[in-house]
Structure formats: C-alpha cells, structure tokens
Amino acid sequence: MRFKELFIFTAKELPAEAQAASHRLLLRGGYIHQAAAGIFSYLPLARRVMNKIQQVMHREMQKIGGQEITMPVVLPADIWKQTGRFYDIGSEMSRFKDRKDHDMVLAMTHEEALGDLARKVIRSYRQLPALVYHIQTKWRDDPRPRAGLIRVREFTMKDSYSLDADWEGLDRQYRAHYQAYFNIFHSCGIDVLAVKSDTGMMGGKMAHEFMYLTPVGEDTIILCPSCGYHSNRQVAEFKKVPLPAEEPAAPVKIATPGKKTIADLGDFLSLSPEKFAKAVFMTARVVKPDHTEESLLVTAVLRGDMELNETKLANAVRAKELRPALDEEIIACGGVPGYASPRGMKNTLVVADDLIPQSGPLVCGANEEGFHLTGAVYGRDFSAEIVTDIAAAGAGSLCPVCGAPLLAEKAVEVGNIFKLGTRYSEALGCTFQDQEGRQQPIIMGSYGIGVGRLLSCVVEQHHDEGGIIWPITIAPFQVHLTVLGDKTSPEPAEGGEELYRALQEAGVETLLDDRQESPGVKFADADLLGIPIRLTVSRRSLTQGGVEVKLRREEGRSFVSPGETVGKVRELIAALTQEIEARVRPVEYRE
C-alpha cells in the first residue's frame, strides 16, 4: 500500500472527551472516525488490525471445535419475550416495530437467537455437544459511551455458544474457552486476568470476566497479593470481622443536630465508624410475574465502616434497575433524610448486610430531625426481610482466603464467559431426546469478546508519547518503508521503489510512504501509526551503508545493504512473532 493512496482521515483537533491514550492515538492516526456518541467508522488501518484480530479468534475457536455461523442483527422480539429479557432489560435495548407492526429488537447479544436456532436443529443427544460462533455487530444504547472504543454503543463481538447434553460437557466447553481466550489475548499482545464475576442480565450459574488492568477502566478488580485471590468488585467477597460482644442496653435517643454523615457523627460522639448502622436508600425497578413494573424503596443497612455494593443489592432484590432514592421517596415511607433508619418506616424493603445481625449495639437514625438512637440491636429495634452480603470489598479489606489486606485496581473487561445452564433452553423449549428417549433441556454456555475494545486495550498497553507500537501479529502492516528526498531535491531517493517491490514479492506487508513531505513529518507519522519495523531509504542512508532499519519500540537503528534488507526484515518478523507466540501458554483454571 502506498501512503498517497491510503484512505486516511487524520484529526488535528481532538474532542475534549478524548482522554484515554487509545482514543487520542486512534483518532490522530486516522484509524477511526467518530460518527456520533459511541458510534465509530473504522478506516482502512483499523480495519486491517481488526481483520487480524478476527483471524486469531477464528483460529482459536476452530481449535476447540467451533463452527462459524452468522445470526441477524435485527431479531423478532417474540423470542426475547419468551426468555423475559424483553421486559427485564431497560433502555439499553433498542426496540421498534417493522412495517407489519411486529415488535423487533436490535441484538445486544444472541442467546435468544441461538436458542431459537437450536430448538429447530437439535433433536437427539447424538447431535451434542456442539459449538457455534460468529463475529457480528451488536447494539447497546449505552447512556455513557466513553474512552473511544472502550465503551461504545455499536460494536463488533465474537460470541460463541456451546450446547451440551450434560453439565460435565458444559464444564469442558467452559474450560476450553477459558484457555482459548487467554490464547487470543496473549496472541494480540495484552495481559489479562480472569476473575469471577456477576452473571448480570445474562443469568446462569457462573461467569468469568477477562480484565485488562488500566487506569482508564471503569471496573474495579479486587486482588490479594499474598494468595492470588482476585474477583470483580461486583461479586468480591472479603472477611468481615464482627465487633466484640456487648451486653445490650435499652436504646437511647440523643440529639445530633446537623450530624447527617458517619464522619460527622463519629466526631460528635467520639465513636469509630464500625459502631454505626448506616442506612442507604435506593429505588428499585422490579418486574412482576405479569411483566408489569413497579418502583420499590429499598433500605440497605450496613455497618458504618462498610460501603454498599449495588450489584449485590440489585441481585438480592431482583431489581431491573437501581438508583439512589430521592428525599421525597424516603419521606413518603416515613423516613427522615439524614436521620433515617428502618425503625418505624413503612412500605420499604429492608435488606441488611450479613454482618449486621452479628454486630452488637449500634447507633442508627431515629427517624426524627436532629436525633439518632444509641444502643440499637438487630432483631429487637429493627429487622430486615433479607439478610445477605451487600457490602463492597475495597483496598484494605481482608482476603476471604488468607486474610491479607486486599488491593483494588481499575480494569477494562475485554471478554466474558457464562455457564448459562438451562436458563434459555427451558424458556425457549430447546430440548433433545436422551438415550432413554426422554426430552431434556439443552445445557448452554455463552462466550464473548469485543473486537474494538480489544483493539483499544492493545493500544493502551503498547504506546509511547510518539504514538502506537503495534504487536507484529495484529499490526496493520509489518513494515513502514519511508523514502526521503533531501534539501537538494524533494524527489524520493532511488532504490525505494525497488525495495518496495522486493518486499511485496517476499510477502511482507509494507506501507510505502512515498509522499513529498519533510523527514520530520514522515518520521512523526511513522511513530504515530506504530508499524513495528521502519525502513528508511535516503541519499544519506545509502552513503552510510544502505537501508536504515529500526524497530518502532526501540531507539537504536542499524544499516544493511539493499540486497540484504529483505532477509533482515524476515528475521525481524520471525523474532517478533516468536516473542508473541511464547506468551501463548497453558493457564491454570481458577473458579
């Protein structure tokens, strides 16, 4: 490819929200163009990278028995209604009617579509196990797209679906994907962790997320540096230490004027945070059995030194959506904002963290302006309909395995795997006839990787102040050939065209910069685009020994004769490829 012919749209002025390095560099380098919030065009350089990422995906899926299919982006809503997700999923799902007034949806994922397909194809246990996959467009109307390709509304995903006759088969396919996903990420040059995660809107028995650690991430990963425990904060457990037992006394109402926070109360009463029962009020939208929705005030009660984990709470109350309650909603249920507690409230679902019943007398709100209650005891002075773990682990929490202090790191989810079980097959009637002639539900798994998000995370890991540094396996080109003129003549030096033809004949993917631009402009563009190997042909290089050879990631450079250049390039490509291949190794499976 000649630079003069390259369809490229470089950006000189970047949008203010382009804070992530990958977002800035992909825009500046003409890899992507933003059409709207969370919607991007992928220009030729990005398309070449995505094609190579997809080649890696095809290879790894086919190694574990995957067969490629393609399912539609536009789907009939009926199958989503059968599973209930048409009603359970909020405004992220785009719904519309076709010209015949049929309800339709834009696919966020394809469990329903695959289930509908499977119930028409699978009849007997002899057809199982099966594994199919596709690389297809998805749409989620995310309210907060950010960081370029890291959080978008339209995206390309590799999603695969396993079909099994028994749970042991699902376990095998799940573990096969676990390793295959590490192979994909390592082949693309990034480091990830697999962490246990919430099943979320997908449902099912178990899920793992593959997380790339980066400050631009929105997820928080909880890590133990001592024993290696790690989990998404959404589901992370930690060791909770009950307070020493105390003889409960009668509760006492005390004046606490203007003291509405745990910090203010602690200072005022000279008590540490763990001596308080903290009430957090949330409004939940829940779907009733008849598929109608209702709003419900939820009162979450935690010890004062704990933070609420909204995912755990949402799961506990089966909420479709969860948001902080408004003051008027709290007041309507008998609470006094800033001084509220479950004591004396009505029309609220109370959920207590499992540490609360183990705690001794605590200070809680008196539901009276300017007053709190000391000596409040769970079961005597307040109670809950649900008692479960709703506390969030954080830095300094104690590891549930070894008791060591935990760390918290930001991360981006680049892939996920789910043991769906019979969640979809039972709803959709996906059955097979077993060896005894009985009809059984197919046992399903679902596995996804976002292609654009993976591309973006590669840039986050592989860049410097000058631009991108692509791993050789997914670089848009292997070689960036820069041919320079000089002060006496702007025409490119002789020998560049011959070398370009020789590299093409040798099968080396080469971008020839044949523009009449200054050396500074060409070298800056080469650094920005990030192609792994740079060759420079100029009158100066020819006097110094021939062709200048430089790896994008290194400062050093060398010179080889024109006749030896192709051989040298092949050696470099082989060495860079071997580095990546050495990263692809067996990974221990961890629940």
pTM listed for this prediction: 0.89
Give, in degrees to the nearest 5, the angle at Cα 497 between 492 and 503.
135
Q: How confident is the model at residue 510 (pLDDT cuts 50, 70, 90)?
A: very high
pLDDT in the model for residue 197: 86
pLDDT in the model for residue 491: 58
DSSP β-bridge partners for residue 294: 286
Chain center to CA of 437: 42
Tell me the CATH number of domain 252-388, given options 3.40.50.620, 3.90.960.10, 1.10.3720.10, 3.30.200.20: 3.90.960.10
Domain residue spans of the chain: 22-195+422-459, 252-388, 472-582
pLDDT digits (tens, 9 = 90+) for 140-194: 999 999 999 999 999 999 999 999 999 999 999 999 999 999 999 999 999 999 9
Residue 306 tokens read as: 């704990």
* Least confident range of 9-23, 350-364, 448-462: 9-23
Q: What are the φ/ψ torsions at residue 583 (nearest 5 degrees)?
A: -75, -20
Q: Which residues contact residue 174 at a Cβ distance below 8 angstroms, ignoring those fewer than 6 apart?
A: 162, 206, 417, 419, 445
Taking all residues of the chain, what is their mean pLDDT, rounded to a whole number?
Answer: 93
pLDDT digits (tens, 9 = 90+) for 197-248: 887 767 778 899 999 999 999 999 999 999 999 999 999 999 999 988 888 8
Give, in degrees to the nearest 5, the angle at Cα 452 between 450 and 458.
100
Whole-angstrom Cα distance, residue 113 to residue 110? 5
Q: Which residues contact residue 106 at a Cβ distance below 8 angstroms, ignoring those fewer than 6 apart?
A: 73, 74, 75, 93, 94, 96, 139
Position 492 pLDDT exceeds 90 = no
DSSP β-bridge partners for residue 36: 39
**CATH architecture of the domain covering 22-195+422-459:** 2-Layer Sandwich (3.30)
**CATH architecture of the domain covering 472-582:** 3-Layer(aba) Sandwich (3.40)
Does residue 191 contact residue 461 with C-beta atoms inside 8 Å?
yes
Residue 101 tokens read as: 């007034």
Give, in degrees to the nearest 5, the angle at Cα 312 between 309 and 313.
85
pLDDT digits (tens, 9 = 90+) for 343-354: 889 999 999 999
pLDDT digits (tens, 9 = 90+) for 404-432: 999 999 999 999 999 999 999 999 999 99
pLDDT digits (tens, 9 = 90+) for 549-590: 999 999 999 999 999 999 999 999 999 999 999 999 999 998
Position 489 pLDDT exceeds 60 = no
pLDDT in the model for residue 38: 95
* SS3 of residue 226 by DSSP: coil
Does residue 478 contact residue 533 with C-beta atoms inside 8 Å?
yes
pLDDT digits (tens, 9 = 90+) for 129-147: 999 999 999 999 999 999 9
Residue 588 tokens read as: 């221990």
DSSP β-bridge partners for residue 432: 440
pLDDT digits (tens, 9 = 90+) for 78-91: 999 999 999 888 88
Closest CA to 376 of 245, 279, 251, 265: 251
